[in-house]
């Protein structure tokens, strides 16, 4: 029996360390360039977007020298594909909301050069929406596969 417990314990430990990752190398958010990193991280933490070191799940933000240009990398980590995709969708929603707030603030200020920023912003918004749609599609497809596997049905790619 002791051998079975040890084997079962090892299998449980291995299953508990299994993680799923989703990385986006460069997400553009114009509001980042004027936001100190400490404020960005505090706002993320308030929204529940952080990495839980104990459970090894959550989101990791990759800030590089491009941060001052409004670009950051994002890695979502989950114990199941659904968790990972939900985390990434939360991050993208957060970034989208902060982009809308920054655009509203810029419109209220009515600064010069706003027309060019709006054109560049429109292209970035289209690309960002494409990324959001892709993550949602992948999340839905992953859920379909998981449901099919649980019910014993054939998995259709």
What's the pLDDT tens digit per position in 6-62? 444 444 454 467 899 999 998 887 778 888 889 989 999 999 999 999 999 999 999
Alpha carbons 91 and 85: distance in angstroms, whole number: 10
Band of the pLDDT at 155, cuts 50, 70, 90?
A: low
- The pTM of this model reads 0.70
3-state secondary structure of 70: coil
3-state secondary structure of 155: coil
3-state secondary structure of 133: helix
Alpha carbons 83 and 21: distance in angstroms, whole number: 10
- Identify the burial level of 109 via C-beta atoms within 10 angstroms of its C-beta, where 0-12 means exposed, 13-18 middle and 19 or more buried: exposed
Q: What's the mean pLDDT when you consider all of the chain?
A: 78
3-state secondary structure of 24: strand
3-state secondary structure of 143: helix
Q: At what angle do helices 114-151 and 81-109 cross, to 10 degrees?
A: 160
The percent of residues above 70 in pLDDT, for the chain, comes to 76
């Amino acid at each position: 029996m002791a051998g079975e417990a040890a084997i079962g314990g090892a299998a449980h430990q291995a299953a508990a360390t299994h993680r799923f990752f989703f990385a986006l190398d460069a997400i553009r958010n114009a509001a980042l360039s004027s936001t100190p990193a400490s404020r960005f991280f505090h706002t993320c933490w308030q929204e529940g977007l952080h990495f839980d070191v104990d459970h090894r799940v959550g989101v990791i933000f990759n800030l590089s020298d491009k941060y001052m240009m409004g670009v950051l990398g994002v890695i979502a980590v989950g114990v199941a594909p659904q968790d990972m995709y939900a985390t990434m969708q939360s991050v993208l929603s957060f970034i989208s909301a902060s982009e809308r707030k920054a655009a509203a603030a810029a419109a209220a200020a009515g600064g010069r050069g706003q027309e060019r920023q709006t054109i560049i912003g429109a292209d970035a918004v289209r690309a960002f929406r494409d990324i959001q749609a892709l993550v949602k599609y992948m999340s839905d497809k992953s859920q379909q596969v998981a449901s099919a596997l649980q019910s014993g049905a054939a998995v259709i790619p």
